[in-house]
Amino acid sequence: MIDSVNGKIIDAEDEPLKGHRWQRFTDIHCHCLPGLDDGPATMVEALALCQKLAEEGIATVVATPHQLGRFEDSNAAASVRESVHSLNETLRNRSIPINIVPGGEVRADERICQLLESDRILTLADGGKYILLELPYEVFIDIEPLLSELASMGIQTIISHAELIAPLASRPETVRRWLECSTHLQITASSLVSDFRTKVKNAAWDLLLTPV
């Protein structure tokens, strides 16, 4: 089995993965670290969440606590790595077959490239290849200069829950330009099937079908 984030071959006979050969998915956007932001408040809640993810076929989870914005003074890279290590140890002790890797949901900020270089914020799986970028829901920000700067560092951008960013719905040309700048869109699965939030569902499908 291959860990699709790290490209590492995992021996399914090793504990705690023994008996779970069917696991193969990676969740790249998950608030699973206890007590850091709007994820689980306690380790007990974090373990319950991870158990459920494992049961649904998730083998690897990128922990993405919020960074910058209103979390400017918290969730620094070092503390996220420490929390990931602690959670992984507890998961192994409980034989919950899932692996957590560090990351962040980073609020759009003109200092991002400098903060990455100073190890203040995180790329996905701490791999230096992808960054999960959070934009305001109601105010449009043209992030093309930031996307280009990140691309020059070899980092591709993933826009988190793009279907919830209302201004993008009326700017398909902007979305296409962003996609040309090594950018990807992360769409929440539930938005694609929701029956009670029609506007969000329509936005999700429109973005999913945007031609490049």
The pLDDT tens digits of the residues spanning 94-131 come to 999 999 999 999 999 999 999 999 999 999 999 999 99
Residue 202 tokens read as 């329509």
The pLDDT score that the predictor gives to residue 81 is: 98
The pLDDT score that the predictor gives to residue 60 is: 97
The pLDDT score that the predictor gives to residue 153 is: 96
The pLDDT score that the predictor gives to residue 8 is: 41
Provide the greatest CA pair distance for the chain: 50
Residue where a domain stops, chosen among 103, 124, 157: 103
Which stretches in the chain have pLDDT values below 70? 1-23, 195-197, 212
- If asked whether residues 96 and 144 sit together in one domain, one would say no
Rounded to 10 degrees, the C-alpha dihedral 16/17/19/22 comes to: 150
User: Domain residues for 3?
Assistant: 1-103
- Residue 37 DSSP label: S
The pLDDT score that the predictor gives to residue 196 is: 60
- If asked whether residues 171 and 86 sit together in one domain, one would say no
Q: Is 81 contained in some domain?
A: yes
> pTM for the full model?
0.86
